[in-house]
Structure 1
Amino acid sequence: MSCRFHPLVLALHAGLAAALAPLASAQTAQADPEQLDTIVVTAQKREQQVSEVPIAISAYSGQFLRDYGVNDFSDIGNLVPGLEVQEQSPNNPGFVIRGITSDSGEANVEPRVSVFQDGVSISKSRGSVVQPFDLERVEVLRGPQGTLFGRGAQIGAIHLIQNKAWNGTESGFTVGAGNYGEHLLTGYFNTPLAAEVLSARVAVFDQKRDGFVDNLSGGDLNGKDTRAVRASLHLDLRQTDSLDLILNWQKDTPPGTAFRTNTIPTRTGSTDVFDRTADLNRGTELGLDRTVRGATLLGSFALGPAWTLSSISGWRDFDSHEEFDADGSQLYAAEFAEISKGRQVSQELRFNYDDGGRFTGFAGVSYFHESGTQTVPFSTNERSLITLPAVGLGIPPLLPDGSPNTLVTALPIAPGVVLPLKPFHQEQYANSGRTTAWELFADGTLALSERLDLTLGLRGTHEKAEGGYRSDFFGVPSALGVLGLGGSPDPSRPTNILFAPTDGWRTREESFDSAVGRAVLGYHFNTHHNGYVSVSRGRRPAVVQVDADSSQVVPAELVWSYEIGLKGDFGGGRLVYDLAAYHYDYSDFQTTIQDPDTLRYIAGNGGNASADGAELSLTWRPNRDFSGFLTYGFIDAGFDEHDDDGNRQELAGNRFRLTPKHSASAGFDLGRDVSGGARIYLRPSWNWRSQVYFEDDNTPGIEQAGYALYNLRLGFTLEGGRWDFGLYGNNLTDKDYLIDAGNTGRLFGTPTFIQGLPRTYGVSVSGRF
């Protein structure tokens, strides 16, 4: 089956199997076949085996994530067909499900892909990347999930289910060290506080890795520095009722991101974006300081033999300040920062019904309130700014010795009249968003026969959304602003270069009513094989967009999804498969467009779009000593040729950004018992992506060719797995690849590029008690 999807997958499978055949065959003779561990998921708000859920869903246990060294959100993306996770920094991620990207940092723009933590949405871009540690499991749902997960899950949801406190005593730790000065410490401790009544759990995480890019102006770039603490309490009110309180805190202080341009050489003369040096201003001042805090209260209460009440209460906030050099060079020309703040509270009450008969379902109500701001300071030396390509004056940016060219100190605007260029200019803009939403929802499954089920779901939303904009002028007019560098100047206003000043905040408030839903027919061929067909409607909320001169409502983006799937197992549960194919039709597709007045890239209407795709997941365990997984995703997604009126669209025929047409991953877990209760293991893994564009306009050169990454973990355990001593290596071939390109620098004619992680390796020791 895999051969029909891509020959590289088959080649890798065959190559690794051949290389490891002696170990596998030796184990086969002494180990009986056994069933794969089953995972219980709650994607449909009730406990089900993955194979029973008529949704394209990937679920991985916490043990699986530990076995394959999943320490970052981007690692999860390598395991799930149709999911891409791009992480410039913890403050600036991009989540892509089936070709649709959710990465806007503007406070007034809602995500397409929802990220949840124990049922609480943490979807706002600047607060959505949390450290995946001490997890029970991860569920990734692909396709519109608004009925199940709410207004932000237009095209999918990533759900992190954390380990809760329980009535028992356990503890564990992992310590590790690696190249680039990496150190890792993570651990947990669980204990009863009052037997059978109250339990507590604490988990901690601390990882630091120096940047792998040396900054010639001081410091290093593209590193990691994350600390996180989680505390939870579990209270048993009676045999059927319980409460879980979960408190999360995370602090990220990594060094800056290495935005490298290929148009301006470093002081050493390099324009190679894969050269692991950069020449960015402000040295060690570059970087991120982000704090994320959250509190979740989960309640489950039996109301009778068939009814239960579930309550999910959430509170979150995040504060972040990131400094970055947008022109990617030693010029003090496009120096930016981003200061983001977000606060939210939410409450969901859900009544679940299951009497063991033909019908199961739930209905409920939810409340969500969120407010946030994003402030973007900009500073420049105008004498360097005029040398950038976007200005178009043809002044060379560097002197022969490689230093910035600041020799032009004034510009003539008329005979005998010149305007001096400021050595330091500063301005900033900010956007704000405030949303209050009420939702009513219901979803139920009726067994039409022993084999055929019908599921219908509907969610209605009333939301009030406010968008705001402010631009500040700091007292001294800019000569470049007077000349209209950022658009036509208004002589009645103080003059900035990029952002026309406003007199305080400009806001606009709108209310919207909407509905999304799903209809699913599920068919049980037998106890081992299930199929489904589904139709669902997804929606990304409308955007209230405000700038210095006007405001508009970018219409809600709508998608109709048509999907067919087949899932089940062979060999008594030793081979598990999941196959899905889908077609999406989008209207009012929200993309980013350049505002001609401010030069900002803002939300805009990209018209009609569509996507076709297929996904395959296989998991195989022929015996206790061997298991493996294989995933493959195909997607053909892009903008349609014409809009509803028959007009050719501006982005006609373009592919969606950050969307490989093909993606695949595979891995094996080989183990063997040896003398003295020890066990050795070998876990190679591989992931591959075909070519991607980094912008919807598909600019040549702002792209990444296809590439593959190879990882390996090996080691041994003692005392039935109580102790684990391991070695790991990631990107073993030290492959050069990009995780992003274009960025803010392309506004100034200096598109920038961000490298992916090079080869990393290290050792780890884990213990469980």
Structure 2
Amino acid sequence: MPHRRHPLALALHLGLSAAVLPCAVAAQTATGADASGEIAYLDTMVVTAQKREQQVSEVPIAISAYSGQFLQDYNVREFSDIGHLVPGLVVQEQSPNNPGFVIRGITSDSGEANVEPRVSVFQDGVSISKSRGSIVQPFDLERVEVLRGPQGTLFGRGAQIGAVHLIQNKAFNGTEAGFTVGAGNESSTLLTGYANTPLVEDKLYGRVAVYHEKRDGFVDNLSGGDLNGKDTQAIRASFRLDLRETDTLDLILNWQKDTPPGTAFRSGSIPTRTGSLDVLDRTADLNRGEALGLDRTVRGATLLGNFMLSSAWSLATITGWRDFDSAEEFDADGAQIYALEFAEIARGRQLSQELRFNYDGGGRFTGFAGASWFHENGSQRVPFRTDERSFITLPAVGLGIPPLLPDGTPNTMVDMLPIAPGVVVPLKPFHEEQYANFGETDAWEIFADGTFAATDRLNLTLGLRGTYEDVTAGYRADYFGVPSFLGLAGLGGSPDPTSPTNILFAPTDGRLSRSESFTSLVGRAVADYRFDDDHNGYVSVSRGRRPNVINVDAFSSEVIDDEVVWSYELGLKGAFAGAHLLYDLAVFHYDYSNFQTAVQDDDTLLFVPANGGNATANGAELSLLWRADRNLSAFFNYGYVDATFDDTDDDGNPQELAGNRFRLTSEHSASAGLDAGFELDNGARLYLRPSWNWRSQAYFEDDNTPGIEQAGYALYNLRAGVQFGDGRWDLSVYGSNLADKDYLIDAGNTGRLFGTPTFIQGTPRTYGVTLSGRF
């Protein structure tokens, strides 16, 4: 019980919205003078979203690309900060172990080993999508690409509704080094740096980058310690080998360790010892104190090869190995009672290989074709511990026993429970049980994607990807030999109800498993047209898929149908005012069938994947970037999405979630930023970079329960400083959430199953100072 979590003729429900081409461009703009002395502004970024280098303005996809320098300029240190910049993208981070990714209304946040994501996260072409290992520290990056819409043709089986691609800085034939040190409120400390150097002249080069950030938790835990902090250490080593002028090998080794304090799940119905029920007062009362928290290690090795086979053909290879181990202790009741004490121990191992042949003969046709193999083996084990005397006070148990005594301490006065006339059972002060799920996947894929220039202005693209999957899912629940009589009271599950064992998870005789194989086909068809040198547009139709899910529990097993989406999209990209103003507009319509959502299983009490029926999403995205000169630029992005469950299923039957909006989905979102510079007589340069982001109201659950939601809110941020020493030194101050806005990043969670929903606060005002140097 982890804490969580088609016809083209259909009229597109428009609205204006915004994707972030501009933000990336701002960081990559050329500011030097050309031969005439005129400053050249707003050169667009080169991206590889379509597996070849292209200007971002030429890519017929809704894509947002950000350079590593841009992320640094706007003090982007968290993965969730990227979500603040891209309309249509939300990155919800309860902890590094428990993120949620939302693109255009579709959430991908399951930590179960047998469930595939809807939104894929990639690191240099290698999928890192399993949620417990997908949050990595974004440091020393070349760029980030966020692709919205089904990307199965380009990125594989997990990219049903989008992909987030981190491209790390590689070693190169040159010498450079840099560092940043910083300090701020909540005792925060920052140290990051990099160094690049040739190891063998004109042959072998090496690069190393390190990252350290630590911050005390901003929630005071009245039971001891603090919560919602950060403690991350990471190191990356990369090597490049030039085999010949056109052939290279890149080896990238990553290691990251996260040991933050616990997450502040705050009960909305059980007060703290001070009597507070205000879930935003930045206190909590979680009884295990400093024993709460996360210990997670992520390791990875990637080998990239690029070889020219002829003047027209090249071969790209991507070999990836990755694993993660995490152990997180959390208090699901959100209060000082010892009732819902959970842990989550997750592991994942994967190995992948992709071979891709690229063709560009200088004619009208370009494209690629290839094959890939992916193997993954993972598990998620969830121990549960409770004091049964506190467990029976939970509202969902329905006995009406108050959880706290008048002095605010846990009520453990009831130690015997009548379950029938003349039958009384004892309650244990300590009970432990656990369940685990397992997933093993082997996937083989073949794919091809080609673009034909029908005219000098019109390009036609067709892509297909076929997949064969061999999947095994498993489940087990353990009984530790000391029975709980609460099972007899109907509060737990057991194949034999006369056998008192566990409270929540009916024990199994070892691991139960089921294996199945699946085949699928996804693809895209795109037409893009260049109206003139400054404006082009595209129309695309694509089919995305989320793989089938095999559910296994103590009583049965079932296969959940694969979730399929048909996407229809129109886009315009271009420039005005002599390329001083860039724009990017996209509108889309999604049709979902077999929408996979989470429902509570009556037998196990777990939230498990289920077929939620049909759903529809409509929306639009708009991005603007303006640059007056090298010292003044601005960006603005606005996003609109209307994503809801349909009224009826394919058979015309009413759907349980009919009309409900998708969870974690704001109907409107926007962001904006300004970069103003001021040249000083001594060669130094002052800069001021305010930014703003806003989201409208959002529900945290698909059932749209009132109160389990967040009203619209805005966050204001600022980075300002001075550059000196020919730009080699940078002294800055920063502030995030300057208005100190109180807001929630999640609500409901495991506690909701037992009648005590819990709430997680967003980060309050943070501020500090940094010093950077480059050599």
| Distance in 1 (alpha carbons) for counterparts of 2:216 and 2:334 | 20
Residue 78 of structure 1 aligns to a residue in which SS? helix
Cα distance change, pair 357–6 in 1 and its aligned pair in 2 (3 A) = closer
Residue 337 of structure 1 aligns to a residue in which SS? strand
TM alignment of 1:260-659, pairs within 5 A: 260-487=266-493, 490-491=496-497, 493=499, 495-659=501-665
| Distance in 1 (alpha carbons) for counterparts of 2:16 and 2:123 | 34
After superposition, the CA RMSD in angstroms is 1.3
> In the alignment, residue 174 of structure 1 is paired with which amino acid?
T
> In the alignment, residue 765 of structure 1 is paired with which amino acid?
L
Give the corresponding residue for 2:178: 172
Q: 2:690 aligns with which of 659, 679, 684?
A: 684
CA deviation after TM superposition for structure 1 residue 5, in Å: 4.8
Contact 1:493 1:501 in 2 (8 A): no
> In the alignment, residue 221 of structure 1 is paired with which amino acid?
L
Deviations 1:409-453 (A, max 9, x none): 011123332100000000000000000000000000000011111
CA deviation after TM superposition for structure 1 residue 276, in Å: 1.2
Higher RCO (CA < 8 A, seq sep 6+): 2
Contact 2:427 2:485 in 1 (8 A): yes
| Distance in 2 (alpha carbons) for counterparts of 1:486 and 1:142 | 42
Deviations 1:96-148 (A, max 9, x none): 00000000000000000000000000000000000000000000000000000
Please state if 1:201 is matched with 2:243.
Answer: no
Residue 676 of structure 1 aligns to a residue in which SS? coil
TM-score between both structures, scaled by the size of structure 2: 0.95
Please state if 1:727 is matched with 2:770.
Answer: no
Residue 132 of structure 2 aligns to a residue in which SS? helix
CA deviation after TM superposition for structure 1 residue 489, in Å: 6.4
CA deviation after TM superposition for structure 1 residue 569, in Å: 1.3
Give the corresponding residue for 2:710: 704
| Distance in 2 (alpha carbons) for counterparts of 1:264 and 1:669 | 46
Please state if 1:737 is matched with 2:743.
Answer: yes
> In the alignment, residue 406 of structure 1 is paired with which amino acid?
T
> In the alignment, residue 159 of structure 1 is paired with which amino acid?
H
Cα distance change, pair 363–5 in 1 and its aligned pair in 2 (3 A) = closer
Residue 153 of structure 2 aligns to a residue in which SS? helix
| Distance in 2 (alpha carbons) for counterparts of 1:440 and 1:32 | 49
| Distance in 2 (alpha carbons) for counterparts of 1:585 and 1:377 | 39
Contact 2:103 2:162 in 1 (8 A): yes
| Distance in 1 (alpha carbons) for counterparts of 2:502 and 2:305 | 53
CA deviation after TM superposition for structure 1 residue 526, in Å: 1.1
Please state if 1:242 is matched with 2:248.
Answer: yes
Cα distance change, pair 40–493 in 1 and its aligned pair in 2 (3 A) = farther
Deviates more, 1:304-313 or 1:622-631: 622-631
| Distance in 2 (alpha carbons) for counterparts of 1:522 and 1:126 | 38
CA deviation after TM superposition for structure 1 residue 487, in Å: 4.7
> In the alignment, residue 631 of structure 1 is paired with which amino acid?
N
CA deviation after TM superposition for structure 1 residue 576, in Å: 1.3
Residue 616 of structure 1 aligns to a residue in which SS? strand
Deviates more, 1:475-484 or 1:331-340: 475-484
| Distance in 1 (alpha carbons) for counterparts of 2:312 and 2:534 | 27
Deviations 1:465-486 (A, max 9, x none): 1110000001111111121113
| Distance in 2 (alpha carbons) for counterparts of 1:274 and 1:415 | 45
Residue 87 of structure 2 aligns to a residue in which SS? coil
Contact 1:210 1:224 in 2 (8 A): yes
Deviation >6 Å, runs of 4+: none
Cα distance change, pair 346–493 in 1 and its aligned pair in 2 (3 A) = farther
CA deviation after TM superposition for structure 1 residue 294, in Å: 0.1
Give the corresponding residue for 2:763: 757
CA deviation after TM superposition for structure 1 residue 543, in Å: 0.3
Deviations 1:247-275 (A, max 9, x none): 00000000000000110110011010011
Give the corresponding residue for 2:28: none
| Distance in 2 (alpha carbons) for counterparts of 1:456 and 1:494 | 60
| Distance in 2 (alpha carbons) for counterparts of 1:768 and 1:33 | 26
CA deviation after TM superposition for structure 1 residue 746, in Å: 0.4
> In the alignment, residue 91 of structure 1 is paired with which amino acid?
N
Q: 1:143 aligns with which of 143, 149, 160?
A: 149
> In the alignment, residue 545 of structure 1 is paired with which amino acid?
N
Give the corresponding residue for 1:43: 49
CA deviation after TM superposition for structure 1 residue 37, in Å: 4.0
Contact 2:44 2:57 in 1 (8 A): no
Deviations 1:664-701 (A, max 9, x none): 00000000110211000000000000000000010110
Deviations 1:167-186 (A, max 9, x none): 00000000000000000000
CA deviation after TM superposition for structure 1 residue 207, in Å: 0.1
Counting aligned pairs with the same residue, the percent is 76
| Distance in 2 (alpha carbons) for counterparts of 1:687 and 1:123 | 26
Give the corresponding residue for 1:16: none
CA deviation after TM superposition for structure 1 residue 6, in Å: 9.0
Give the corresponding residue for 2:99: 93
Contact 2:16 2:621 in 1 (8 A): no
| Distance in 2 (alpha carbons) for counterparts of 1:617 and 1:162 | 25
Q: 1:107 aligns with which of 88, 97, 113?
A: 113
| Distance in 1 (alpha carbons) for counterparts of 2:296 and 2:515 | 29
Give the corresponding residue for 1:253: 259
Give the corresponding residue for 2:672: 666
CA deviation after TM superposition for structure 1 residue 281, in Å: 1.4
CA deviation after TM superposition for structure 1 residue 33, in Å: 5.3
CA deviation after TM superposition for structure 1 residue 620, in Å: 1.2
| Distance in 2 (alpha carbons) for counterparts of 1:162 and 1:416 | 69
> In the alignment, residue 633 of structure 1 is paired with which amino acid?
G
| Distance in 2 (alpha carbons) for counterparts of 1:425 and 1:702 | 30
| Distance in 2 (alpha carbons) for counterparts of 1:712 and 1:414 | 64
CA deviation after TM superposition for structure 1 residue 573, in Å: 2.3
Give the corresponding residue for 2:7: none
Number of equivalences: 744
Residue 675 of structure 1 aligns to a residue in which SS? coil
CA deviation after TM superposition for structure 1 residue 494, in Å: 5.2
CA deviation after TM superposition for structure 1 residue 612, in Å: 0.2
TM-score between both structures, scaled by the size of structure 1: 0.96
| Distance in 2 (alpha carbons) for counterparts of 1:491 and 1:593 | 24
Residue 85 of structure 2 aligns to a residue in which SS? coil
Residue 734 of structure 2 aligns to a residue in which SS? strand
> In the alignment, residue 692 of structure 1 is paired with which amino acid?
A
CA deviation after TM superposition for structure 1 residue 488, in Å: 7.0
| Distance in 1 (alpha carbons) for counterparts of 2:577 and 2:177 | 36
| Distance in 2 (alpha carbons) for counterparts of 1:494 and 1:309 | 62
Mark the runs of 5 or more structure 1 residues left unpaired by the alignment.
8-30
| Distance in 2 (alpha carbons) for counterparts of 1:527 and 1:473 | 69
Q: 2:700 aligns with which of 663, 680, 694?
A: 694
Residue 677 of structure 1 aligns to a residue in which SS? coil
| Distance in 1 (alpha carbons) for counterparts of 2:637 and 2:165 | 19
Deviates more, 1:53-62 or 1:408-417: 408-417
> In the alignment, residue 531 of structure 1 is paired with which amino acid?
G
CA deviation after TM superposition for structure 1 residue 384, in Å: 0.4
| Distance in 2 (alpha carbons) for counterparts of 1:209 and 1:63 | 23
Mark the runs of 5 or more structure 2 residues left unpaired by the alignment.
1-14, 19-36
